[in-house]
């Protein structure tokens, strides 16, 4: 039972602390991952141009991505956004998502233990799949289980 005298803020802080302890992940690790990953993305031949043509100012994007990952991994609730809506217009398919996940995996494995890298990766894979499904369906393609979205 949670303490009824706690404010919402204190209750949230307690949840985040509990998640830090459970996962072994904290905000400074999220910052390292996000900064390392997007440095790779920006220099990448396939994905770099897609990001660089849409993001003029990287600082707010990196802050948003740290907030996103802290909400996903630590249940901090600090990210408020609509990732699906932002990705629907992008010119991407299975190839781009696989490549994104490859760079994410390389970064996470270089920085963290296998257990922590896999914790991040598991969540990244699920979110990537749901974005790919959403993009496919916005093109009238309904993917069955295990199917991927390929543009002609
Ligand atoms: C093909 C792979 C991907 C590409 C090319 C891509 C590209 C982008 C771009 C260009 C933006 C900035 C949009 C804007 O501000 O106009 C963005 C935002 C974002 N992306 Fe991705 N992305 C990809 C995959 C993913 C995956 C797998 C995740 C999550 C695991 C993710 C999470 C986000 C989030 C949270 C935002 C911020 C949305 C907001 O403004 O709140 N992206 N992405």
Ramachandran category for residue 103: left, alpha or beta (phi over 0 → left; psi -120 to 50 → alpha): alpha
Domain harbouring 71, CATH code? 1.10.490.10
ipTM summary value: 0.98
> What is the span of the domain harbouring residue 30?
8-138
The reported pTM is: 0.96
Is the residue at 2 inside a domain? Answer: no
Count of H helices and E strands in the chain? 7, 0
Is the residue at 44 inside a domain? Answer: yes
Is the residue at 149 inside a domain? Answer: no
Is the residue at 17 inside a domain? Answer: yes
Is the residue at 150 inside a domain? Answer: no
Low-confidence winner among 1-10, 92-101, 107-116 (lowest mean pLDDT):
1-10
Find the residues whose C-beta lies inside 6 A of ligand 1.
47, 50-51, 54-55, 64, 68, 81, 83, 86-87, 90, 92, 96-97, 100, 124, 127-128, 131
Is the residue at 90 inside a domain? Answer: yes
Is the residue at 39 inside a domain? Answer: yes
Total domains present in the chain: 1
- Residue nearest atom 7 of ligand 1, based on CA coordinates: 51
- CA dist 65 and 7 (Å) reads 27
Is the residue at 152 inside a domain? Answer: no
- The pLDDT of residue 1 is 59
- How confident is the model over 4-35, as pLDDT tens digits? 888 999 999 999 999 999 999 999 999 999 99
- The pLDDT of residue 5 is 85
- How confident is the model over 37-90, as pLDDT tens digits? 999 999 999 999 999 999 999 999 999 999 999 999 999 999 999 999 999 999
């Amino acid at each position: 039972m949670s303490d009824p005298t706690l404010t919402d803020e204190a209750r949230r802080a307690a949840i985040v602390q509990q998640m830090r302890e459970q996962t072994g992940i904290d905000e400074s690790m999220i910052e390292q991952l996000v900064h390392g990953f997007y440095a790779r993305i920006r220099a990448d031949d396939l994905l770099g141009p897609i990001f660089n043509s849409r993001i003029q100012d990287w600082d707010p994007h990196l802050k948003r991505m740290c907030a996103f990952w802290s909400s996903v991994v630590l249940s901090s609730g600090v990210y408020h956004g609509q990732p699906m809506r932002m990705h629907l217009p992008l010119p991407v398919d299975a190839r781009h998502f696989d490549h994104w996940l490859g760079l994410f995996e390389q970064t996470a494995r270089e920085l963290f233990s296998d257990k922590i890298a896999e914790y991040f990766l598991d969540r990244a894979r699920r979110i990537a799949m749901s974005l790919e499904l959403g993009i496919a369906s916005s093109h009238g393609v309904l993917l069955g289980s295990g199917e991927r979205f390929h543009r002609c």
